[in-house]
Amino acid sequence: MTRIGFAYNQKPDDPTLRLESETERPEDEPPSRRRRGTPRRTRAAGEPAPRPGAEPVPAPHDEFAEWDSAETVDAVERALSGLGEVIRLEATDDFPARLRSARPDIVFNMAEGLRGVSREAHVPAICEFYGVPYSGSDPFTLSLCLDKARTKELLAYHGIPTAPFRVIPAPGTRHAARGSRPESRPPTADAPLFVKPLHEGSSKGITERNYCRTPAELDEQVAFLLERYRQPVLVEEYLPGAEFTCAVLGNGVAARVLPLVGMRFDALPAGALPVYGFEAKWLWDRPERPLEIFECPARIDAGLRETIERIVLAAYHALGCRDWSRIDVRLDAAGVPNVVEVNPLPGILPDPADNSCFPKAARAAGMSYDELIRACVRHAAERQGVALPATAVRGRSRRAAING
């Protein structure tokens, strides 16, 4: 029977690991606390007002926001069991020893890592060190895509549209955009700007406060992000158009874009900024009051859909993505699709009621959750010559013993 290693990071159960405040709050509130001693910012004319009553909240320890819940881990394990024996390999400090001891035929990797700007590359790098095949992109692509500026540089080099940007590496600095092509020029001074931590995912550090209309707003929010996340900050021109999330499955010429997910910003609270950030994901989208923000398939004309798919596949191949990835696209003022983010480790929440883009796109394409997970493994196995059963089997699971 094929032995499937399963590499993952599971969110801790202890709430004290997540919250700075002693006040009981939802699990994943956004890091939008106003720094003590700084004045409350005022909004410029025409800028959307905040949601009524949605005051900034204390910043959580959101270092685990990218990790998966026990429910997701269990659902993926059940899906993988249709391909063979599943060996759980949680990506903790003893992962290398357990991988070496277990020696699975292939590893399904969804481990986000914890420390450092190359954290998403740790598991695949260890797999390569021990000669164990694995799913998904290689260590270089995973490290590249976790650096938003380097990703944009490479996209610009290949002529793939992305918003003009610059990087602020430390307090008091103003660096021009890196790169040599016109597409990587710095953002214009009179355009609204949007700022992000350079090396984060899952909308960590991305709130409505990141939309900046004035130099004062920009300085305040950049200073906050530099202090909070201890990493450079990306400053890019704000793209005012529609936004789409695009799931890609497969490799080479066979890679395909699943039905596009369109963002229905009219579902956000009145006056909210049209951005799918931390507030939309973790505050306004509640089990008792779901946020109907996704439309899949997106209702757009065939010409725009084809243009988006062409740009998405070009980015997928240029960045070296493999097996699957999620690519976010937003239209600029002229209606041109621009690549905003590339995530080679896409979120895969199993519950259809949850707003999880990749599974939603898969369902629109006629694939069940289990079929989606298995398709990723099959693409990886085909790339590497690993034999898998042609149909689902009755597998089992176990935890790999530490090779002591």
Q: Is the pLDDT of residue 403 over 50?
A: no
**89 in Cβ contact with 354 (< 8 Å):** no
Instruction: Pick the closest to residue 340 from 145, 170, 191 (CA basis).
Output: 145
Encode pLDDT of 339-353 as tens digits: 999 999 999 999 888
pLDDT for res 132:
98
Domain boundaries, the chain: 241-374
Instruction: Pick the closest to residue 344 from 241, 251, 234, 280 (CA basis).
Output: 251
| pLDDT band at residue 300 under the 50/70/90 scheme | very high
pLDDT for res 265:
92
Q: What percent of the chain has pLDDT over 90?
A: 62
Q: Can you tell me the distance from the alpha carbon of 246 to that of 299, in angstroms, rounded to the nearest whole number?
A: 14
DSSP character at residue 101: H
Q: Can you tell me the distance from the alpha carbon of 379 to that of 221, in angstroms, rounded to the nearest whole number?
A: 42
pLDDT for res 64:
54
Q: Can you tell me the distance from the alpha carbon of 111 to that of 109, in angstroms, rounded to the nearest whole number?
A: 6
**85 in Cβ contact with 398 (< 8 Å):** yes
> Highest mean pLDDT: which of 29-43, 77-91, 280-294, 380-394?
77-91
- Could you tell me which residue, 91 or 45, shows the higher pLDDT? 91
pLDDT for res 377:
98
Q: What percent of the chain has pLDDT over 70?
A: 80
Q: Is this prediction's pTM over 0.85? A: no
pLDDT for res 310:
98
Q: Is the pLDDT of residue 223 over 70?
A: yes
Q: How many CB atoms lie within 10 A of CB 248?
A: 26
DSSP character at residue 117: T
Under DSSP, is residue 247 helix (H, G, I), strand (E, B) or coil? Answer: strand
Rg of the chain, C-alpha, whole Å: 21
pLDDT for res 398:
67
Encode pLDDT of 132-182 as tens digits: 999 999 999 999 999 999 999 999 999 999 999 999 987 766 544 443 344
Q: Is the pLDDT of residue 253 over 90?
A: yes
Encode pLDDT of 177-195 as tens digits: 443 344 445 676 567 999 9
Q: Tell which phi-psi region holds residue 361, choosing left (phi > 0), alpha (psi between -120 and 50) or beta.
A: alpha
Q: Can you tell me the distance from the alpha carbon of 199 to that of 120, in angstroms, rounded to the nearest whole number?
A: 11
Instruction: Pick the closest to residue 7 from 90, 98, 106, 94 (CA basis).
Output: 90
pLDDT for res 186:
61
Encode pLDDT of 2-50 as tens digits: 999 999 999 887 544 443 333 333 333 333 323 333 333 343 433 444 4
**350 in Cβ contact with 369 (< 8 Å):** yes
pLDDT for res 400:
54
Give the N- to C-terminal CA distance of the chain in Å, as an integer.
25
pLDDT for res 36:
30
pLDDT for res 241:
96
DSSP character at residue 58: P
> Highest mean pLDDT: which of 62-66, 216-220, 288-292, 400-404?
216-220
Q: Is the pLDDT of residue 373 over 90?
A: yes
> Highest mean pLDDT: which of 212-221, 322-331, 347-356?
322-331
Question: Which two three-digit tokens encode residue 307?
Answer: 């243009």
CATH of 241-374, one of 2.130.10.10, 3.40.50.300, 3.30.470.20, 3.40.50.2000: 3.30.470.20
Q: Is the pLDDT of residue 384 over 50?
A: yes
**H helix runs in 205-291, sequence order:** 215-229, 278
**160-169: buried (b, 16+ CB within 10 Å) or exposed (e) per residue?**
bbbbbbbbbe
pLDDT for res 289:
77
To the nearest whole number, what is the mean pLDDT of the chain?
83
Dihedral sign for Cα 279, 284, 287, 290, please.
negative
pLDDT for res 396:
72
- Could you tell me which residue, 209 or 67, shows the higher pLDDT? 209
Q: Which residues contact 91 (CB under 8 A, 6 or more apart)?
A: 7, 8, 9, 111, 113, 122, 123
